[in-house]
Amino acid sequence: MEDIIGSPCSNLGVSICKTENCAIACAKRGLSKTRFMHEGDSYLVDVEILKGIKGETIGYIEIIQNITHMEQLMKQQSESEAANRAKSSFLANMSHEIRTPMNAIIGMAAIGKSTSDVQRKDYTFEKIDDASKHLLGVINDILDMTKIEAGKFELTSTEYDFENMIQRVVNIISLRAANKQQKLMVHIDNNIPIFLIGDDQRLAQVIANLLGNAVKFTPEKGSISLEASLLREEGDVCTLQIEVTDNGIGISPEQQTLLFSPFQQADSNTARIYGGTGLGLSISRNIVEMMGGEIRIESEQGKGSAFIFTVQALRGADALQGRNMSINNLSNLRVLVIDDDLEILIYFKDTLHSYGIACDVANSGEKGVMIAEQNNGYQVYIVDWKLHDIDSMELIGALKSMDGIDGSTVIMLLDAEWSEIEEDAKEAGVDYFLAKPLFPSAILNTLYESLGITQYQSTEETQAEVAGLFAGRRILLVEDLEINREIVMALLEPTDITIDIATNGADAIKTINTCPINYDMILMDIQMPEMDGYEATRKIRALDCPQAEKIPIVAMTANVFNEDIEKCMNAGMDDHIGKPIDFDEMIKTFLKYMR
What domains are there in the chain, each with its CATH number?
3-66 (no CATH), 72-149 (1.10.287.130), 158-315 (3.30.565.10), 322-450 (3.40.50.2300), 474-593 (3.40.50.2300)
DSSP 241-252: EEEEEE-SS---
Q: What is the pLDDT of residue 203?
A: 95
Q: What is the pLDDT of residue 264?
A: 57
Which residues 6+ apart lie within 8 Å of 90 measured at CB? 262, 263, 277, 278
Query: Which tens digit of pLDDT belongs to each residue from 281-302?
Result: 989 999 999 999 999 999 988 8
Number of Cβ within 10 Å of residue 79's Cβ equals 10
Task: Provide the β-strand partners of residue 159.
Answer: 197
Query: Which tens digit of pLDDT belongs to each residue from 142-160?
Result: 778 777 877 878 888 889 9
130: DSSP letter:
H
Number of Cβ within 10 Å of residue 224's Cβ equals 27
Question: Which whole number is the average pLDDT over 320-335?
Answer: 61
pLDDT: which is higher, 459 or 280: 280
Q: What is the pLDDT of residue 425?
A: 85
Question: Which whole number is the average pLDDT over 462-476?
Answer: 80
HEC per residue, 423-438: HHHHHHCCCEEEECCC
Query: What three-state secondary structure class fits 21?
Result: coil
| Helix 533-541 vs helix 505-512: crossing angle, to nearest 10 | 20
Measured CA angle at 105 (ends 103, 111), to 5 deg? 100
The candidate with the shortest Cα–Cα distance to 459, out of 354, 576, 320, is: 320
Report CA torsion sign: 162, 166, 167, 169: positive
Confidence band (pLDDT; 50, 70, 90) for 558? Answer: confident
Q: What is the pLDDT of residue 265?
A: 55
In the chain, what percentage of residues exceed pLDDT 70? 81
Q: How far apart are CA 12 and CA 45, in angstroms?
A: 10
Question: Cα(first)–Cα(last) distance of the chain, in Å?
Answer: 80
Query: Which tens digit of pLDDT belongs to each residue from 165-205?
Result: 999 889 888 878 888 989 999 999 989 999 999 999 899 99
Compute the half-sphere exposure of residue 52: CA atoms within 13 Å on the CB side of its CA.
5
**What ranges in 496-561 are assigned the alpha helix state H?**
505-512, 533-541, 546-550
Confidence band (pLDDT; 50, 70, 90) for 426? Answer: confident
pLDDT: which is higher, 454 or 483: 483
- Provide the residue type at 131 as one letter: A
Question: Which whole number is the average pLDDT over 425-438?
Answer: 88
Exposure string over 292-322, b if 16+ CB within 10 A, otherwise e: ebebebebeeeebbbbbbbbbbebbeeeeeb
Strands 575-578 and 553-557: parallel
Q: What is the pLDDT of residue 298?
A: 93
Do residues 145 and 283 make contact, with C-beta atoms less than 8 angstroms apart? yes
pLDDT at 3 over 50: no
Q: What is the pLDDT of residue 492?
A: 92
- Provide the residue type at 176 as one letter: R
Confidence band (pLDDT; 50, 70, 90) for 406? Answer: low
pLDDT at 253 over 80: yes
pLDDT: which is higher, 267 or 71: 71
Query: Which tens digit of pLDDT belongs to each residue from 199-236?
Result: 998 999 999 999 999 999 999 999 999 999 999 999 88
Instruction: Look over the chain and give the mean of its residue pLDDT values, rounded to a whole number.
Output: 81
Q: How far apart are CA 475 and CA 593, in angstroms?
A: 12
Do residues 286 and 148 make contact, with C-beta atoms less than 8 angstroms apart? yes
Do residues 38 and 44 make contact, with C-beta atoms less than 8 angstroms apart? no
Q: What is the pLDDT of residue 211?
A: 94
Query: What three-state secondary structure class fits 347?
Result: helix
Q: What is the pLDDT of residue 2?
A: 35
| Whole-number Cα distances in Å, 167 to 81, 170, 171, 419, 584 | 44, 5, 6, 21, 17
Q: What is the pLDDT of residue 562?
A: 73
Confidence band (pLDDT; 50, 70, 90) for 36? Answer: low
The candidate with the shortest Cα–Cα distance to 213, out of 202, 221, 224, is: 224
Query: Which tens digit of pLDDT belongs to each residue from 39-94?
Result: 667 767 777 777 777 777 777 676 777 777 776 777 777 777 766 666 666 666 66
pLDDT at 268 over 60: no
Q: How far apart are CA 8 and CA 80, in angstroms?
A: 32
pLDDT: which is higher, 24 or 86: 86
Do residues 375 and 360 make contact, with C-beta atoms less than 8 angstroms apart? yes
Q: Phi, psi (5° rounding) for residue 313?
A: -145, 155
13-22, 55-64, 147-156, 344-353, range with the lowest pLDDT: 13-22
Query: Which tens digit of pLDDT belongs to each residue from 98-139?
Result: 777 777 777 777 777 777 777 777 777 877 877 787 788 778
